Amino acid sequence: QVQLVESGGGLVQAGGSLTLSCAASGRTFSRNAMGWFRQTPGKERDFVAAIRWSGGNTYYADSVKGRFTISRDNGKNTVTLQMNSLKPEDTAVYYCASSVSIINLNRANTYNYWGQGTQVTVSS
């Protein structure tokens, strides 16, 4: 089992910044990659960013490239999503997820474990 706990969500004005963190514990061999997804009511969970634990390769959705940065701290088993220049359309519940696979990281069904989610609200 892998346990994921997100933190750092909140309310911010457009143009502002927020940092989300995901603390991972449990089977290290079950989390070769980590991802962030977001979801709004009535819509599917959308890919935001992903990172491989080994090598640190990163991947981003086009909508967040240049604004969001995903990083990892192997020693602390945490993954961070730095979100800058936030827009109202970034408002969503953000989920952290872990994957055994290191391919197709933009697909929600690739991931094996999920956190409980954290709300991010960007006001205009």
pLDDT digits (tens, 9 = 90+) for 73-124: 988 889 999 999 999 999 999 999 999 999 999 999 999 999 999 999 999 9
What are the E-state strand segments in the chain?
2-7, 10-13, 18-26, 33-39, 46-52, 58-60, 68-73, 78-83, 92-99, 113-114, 118-123
pLDDT of the residue at 31? 76
Candidate from 5-9, 11-15, 22-26, 81-85 with smallest mean pLDDT: 22-26
Cβ–Cβ < 8 Å for 73, 19? no
pLDDT of the residue at 65? 98
Q: What is the per-residue pLDDT across 39-78, written as a single tens digit (0 to 9) for each?
A: 999 999 999 999 998 888 999 999 999 999 999 998 888 9
